[in-house]
Structure 1
Amino acid sequence: MYNRNLKQLSELAGRMLKNFRHTFRTVSGFTRNNSSDVAASQNGLIYCSNVVKQHDYENFLATLLMTKAIRTPALVVRAFNVEVARVQDQTSDPQTAAFRVQFWLDILNDIYKKEQNISKIPANPVAKELFKICKCYNLPKRHLEKLVLSRSSLLKSRYFRTLEDIEKYADDTVSSIYYLLLTVAGVADIHADHAASHLGKSQGLTNILRSVHVSNHHKMVALPMDILMKNKVSQEEVLREKDSEGMRNVVFEVASRAYSHLEKARKIQTPKITNQIFLPATAVDYYLNKLQKNNFNIFDKSLHHGNATLPFKLYYKRLVNKY
């Protein structure tokens, strides 16, 4: 049964990716008549798609189910986010990481210069495509900067003092993406922004929980220090993946806050088009419920397996226009 689901997942993802590639030629504002420019643009978009598919698969699947007008710029935004987020994975040297963060800040400054030409943008496919969508959709620079600066701050501090600090980080690194996609969709609605903020915090908190089992790689404990101390759980216990009642209490508190934000987001009435933008909530809901069923044992190996039914759940949510 599991293998059959994986096969169906692969076929569905393949069909969605094929449809996505077809839209490269139909989205206005991204290519020019010169055949070499068209080819370069398509290659850049395919690169962005592959980056998201490889490093942010759940959001990749959700993005493929968006309408054609939103799908391409959404993948470019997510590719930019992936590239920035991967800085800490690509090097353990703080100076090298700082250089790479500065590279992306310089890219943003170049993009937002008045009367800037794409030929002046560094030969990086994500940077080139980001330039195009920033000009086409007039994306706010502040949200893109938050994606970079928040990661830069974490590289320096390497821990969160409180749960509220994680919420702020989640708002900067996840909610900012939703704000950008709302701009792409032409949604200027305070209720949609409010829902995006709650969903971003929920997804960000969930990402922190999901990252605990790989924390050994970076020797970093992302769980809030105040809650760890309250439950008498040391950083060493987290790094050693030691399950305990105290550890489960820590996880319960973080997961409860994440679920609270998810519920608040779903209760807010927003324009219908936002439902497709907020589709990643489906994966967040699945993980939090599975975590609860495992009695908040964050180290349970079943939590680290992929969700073979996610594409079908996402597709169903898209059909009924809910998230």
Structure 2
Amino acid sequence: MAGSSNLVMEAVRAADHDRYLSALYAPADKRDALLALYAFNAEIAGVRDRIHEPLPGEVRLQWWRDVIASEDGADTGHPTADALKATITANRLPKAAFENMLDARTFDLYDDPMPSRTDLEGYCGETAAALIQLVAMALDPIAAPGFAEFAGRAGCAQAITGLLLLLPLHRRRGQCYVPADILAAAGSSPEEFVKGEGGAAEQRAAAAMIALARDHLSAFEKGAPALPVSLRPAFLPLALTRGYLDKMEKTGRSPLDGAVVLSTLRRHWLLLRHAMRGWAGL
């Protein structure tokens, strides 16, 4: 069992280092649950990376649906799937949330443009925000329901920032997560944006996405000092979000131009600071 746990931990470390680091600040008896949830998220978020055609990708997502829906206790032989099943059972996590998450991830398999800001926020709500809320439920099922709205804001801020960080990759693939209505307001279109033919309109659209992420982050941070210590690890990845957004703007390096990274030292410092003090004083 320990070997399986190590495989799950290593999967998160390799695929989602920011969430891996944040999980280390969770209580020891909760850490395996967080890592199982983060490993599952990394698995379904990375389907497009491993399976380049939509139909096999749909089959893979359906496999996860079947695993989660199954009521038997038989092992699947997949370390992350078995850890996830155990986590769902032990923490009585709602299977509907996982179903919604898998449905939302179907969008990743295709090159359809994101229609509107509302659709984008719905996608973020069913992916990153749902993940935060599930982690919160695993940490403290009594306190978690009272902070569902914070999870929604936090998830939108984190997911939109993540999409900004992945903009160059998505454009190479022909994907456009920048909503069509935001692009239209900036004077561009999904087709132009993907091809890199939007000129200054591209920069306006990227700036609008940064502003949208900041709106959600500010709304989260306004109430974040009220978060109980028990739930803090669920929201800890948000400690890095403002740093990423600040670097996009203050360095003059547009997310359109390439990867925006925070140094290892900076990430460790931000996580430690927020793990110890929360969001007090922001």
Task: Write the distance in 1 (CA, Å) between the matches of 2:35 and 2:25.
Answer: 11
Structure 1 residues 76 and 247, CA gap change in structure 2 (3 angstroms): same
Task: Write the distance in 2 (CA, Å) between the matches of 1:289 and 1:241.
Answer: 24
Count of residues in correspondence between the two structures: 276
Residue 287 of structure 1 deviates from its aligned partner by: 0.8
Matched, 1:305 2:270: no
Q: Within 5 Å, give how 1:20-169 maps onto structure 2.
A: 41-110=1-70, 113=71, 116-117=72-73, 119=74, 121-156=75-110, 158-169=112-123
Kindly provide the amino acid, as one letter, of the partner of residue 160 in structure 1: M
Q: Is the 8 A contact 2:33 2:87 kept in 1?
A: yes
Residue 240 of structure 1 deviates from its aligned partner by: 4.6
The aligned counterpart of 2:137 is 183
Kindly provide the amino acid, as one letter, of the partner of residue 149 in structure 1: D
Residue 276 of structure 1 deviates from its aligned partner by: 2.4
Task: Write the distance in 2 (CA, Å) between the matches of 1:319 and 1:254.
Answer: 30
Q: Is the 8 A contact 2:101 2:130 kept in 1?
A: yes
Q: Is the 8 A contact 2:158 2:241 kept in 1?
A: yes
Kindly provide the amino acid, as one letter, of the partner of residue 64 in structure 1: L
Q: Is the 8 A contact 2:140 2:230 kept in 1?
A: no
Task: Write the distance in 1 (CA, Å) between the matches of 2:52 and 2:100.
Answer: 22
Q: What is the root-mean-square deviation in Å for CA atoms of aligned residues? A: 2.0
What secondary structure sits across from 1:139 in the alignment?
A: coil
Structure 1 residues 180 and 290, CA gap change in structure 2 (3 angstroms): same
Structure 1 residues 321 and 257, CA gap change in structure 2 (3 angstroms): same
Q: Within 5 Å, give how 1:231-310 maps onto structure 2.
A: 231-241=186-196, 244-268=199-223, 269-295=226-252, 297-301=254-258, 303-308=259-264, 309-310=266-267
Unaligned runs of 5+ in 2: none
What secondary structure sits across from 1:233 in the alignment?
A: coil
Task: Write the distance in 1 (CA, Å) between the matches of 2:255 and 2:58.
Answer: 31
The aligned counterpart of 1:34 is none
Kindly provide the amino acid, as one letter, of the partner of residue 247 in structure 2: K
Give the structure-1-normalised TM-score.
Answer: 0.79
Kindly provide the amino acid, as one letter, of the partner of residue 98 in structure 2: L
What secondary structure sits across from 2:166 in the alignment?
A: helix
Matched, 1:229 2:166: no
Task: Write the distance in 2 (CA, Å) between the matches of 1:188 and 1:155.
Answer: 36
Structure 1 residues 247 and 96, CA gap change in structure 2 (3 angstroms): same
Structure 1 residues 296 and 246, CA gap change in structure 2 (3 angstroms): farther
Kindly provide the amino acid, as one letter, of the partner of residue 249 in structure 2: Q
Task: Write the distance in 2 (CA, Å) between the matches of 1:48 and 1:322.
Answer: 29
Identity %: 21
Residue 77 of structure 1 deviates from its aligned partner by: 0.4
Q: Within 5 Å, give how 1:312-323 maps onto structure 2.
A: 312-322=269-279
